[in-house]
Amino acid sequence: MKEAATIPRRAWLWVFAAYLFQAIPAAVRDEALPVALKDLGYPDARNTQAVAIFGLIVGFKILLSPLVAGFDPRRFILASQLGIAAVFGLMAMFLGAGEASLSGIIGCLIMLSLLAAAHDFALDGYFVAALDDRSRATHAGVLNVATKVGAVLAGPGLIWLVGRIMDEGPQTVDAWSWAMVAAALLALLTLGANAWGLAAEPRTASDQSTVKERFAVMQAGLRSLGSDPRLYAVLGLILFYRASEVHMARIIPLFSKSAEHGGLGLDNETYAFLRMLSAVGGLALGGVIGSLVVARLGLARSLLPLGVMMHLPLAAFAWLAYDGTHDLRVIGAVFIVEYVAYGAGLCALILAMMKLAAGPGAAVRYAALSTFALLANYLPGLWAGALAEHLGYAHYFLFALSLAIPGIISAVVAKRHFTEA
């Protein structure tokens, strides 16, 4: 048998498989879980709060980083992926067990968030360490496509599958149990492809320093970030630049499923089909538009136009909530516009975060910024559902649109700190 060192590298394979896998837990939490809770009769307030809590747990990844760094990165990535697949299997079992398994399902979702947090940190670190600048640039497109494919398969894909299963007769809980079986199988298939790709990679040593020393390095990186004069401008972007879009995203699955408060009343299959059609193309087009705008204008001058673009879909969703026709072609077009605007605006925000994180201790600095971004992404879920129930969907979307004002102000302030970009 050939030694790993003599086997031609298959970096494209492990990058595609690993980042497709990375998208699976996030898509299950952000896309599938809200629809599952809606199917099971949970009100919007409890729905968005549950998603927010499980999402916020992922923010602990920066605290896990000194512990994760002590393991062989390839083995840790594969082991955590196997653990995530096992959690999906346990969730299928607990869902099949009925109402008495609620505590087991909650425990699985907590474990899923913790494993996903550790996996994400290990994978991102390995991607940076294993590939040089040229290779990272070459494989950036593969990573981007893999993330979008994983998000579609584990989000709208599972929702569509549930709808098809329910058409054949099984009840909601049983249908979602089979969906978790499908998620586990997808995870195992992706794990196998990832293992095959990583087998050809040169061996990378684990960090031999002590946990105490790694915590000291993390603290040094955080201190350097805290002393950077651009920090508060970027934190303003993280908190406010996407505020309107985040409030919209927390409610879209519930708005699409609900037949009350101005909701669209879509069934699982129709909702999933529209989201699948619009997601891949819309996100890809948005990313291309964002990249082209930044390349042409520079980061500083791009923040404002891309920010305005990201806020515009709120007006379309408010109109959908007021309008009673619910034409599927119009709904699909609004979904596409939402994804395009989100992809473009997110591109500018990520580039601002990367620019601030660059330099000594970049991994720790970016992990800290991504933790803040997670908080900003999930905290609104604690109140979004209750607010939508109180205001109705149309007025809720108008409220979210008003959050574009601090978002635009944050872009103007940040522009002064990236004038050279």
pLDDT tens figures, 245-278: 899 989 999 999 888 778 888 888 899 988 888 8
pLDDT of 324 strictly over 70: no
The pLDDT of 35-40, averaged and rounded, is 87
DSSP string, 55-88: HHHHTTHHHHHHHHTTS-HHHHHHHHHHHHHHHH
Inter-CA distances, 113 with 33, 64, 83, 106, 203, Å: 13, 12, 11, 11, 28
Please calculate the CA angle 261-25-268 and round it to the nearest 5 degrees: 35
Interval 144-189: pLDDT, tens:
778 888 888 999 999 999 998 988 876 888 889 999 999 999 999 9
> What is the reported pTM?
0.82
pLDDT at 184: 96
pLDDT at 137: 61
The whole-angstrom separation of Cα 232 and Cα 363 is 19
pLDDT of 1 strictly over 50: no
Radius of gyration of the chain (CA): 21
Within 10 A of 309 (CB to CB), how many other CB atoms are there? 20
Domains of the chain with bracketed CATH = 1-200 (1.20.1250.20), 208-421 (1.20.1250.20)
Please calculate the CA angle 32-156-327 and round it to the nearest 5 degrees: 115
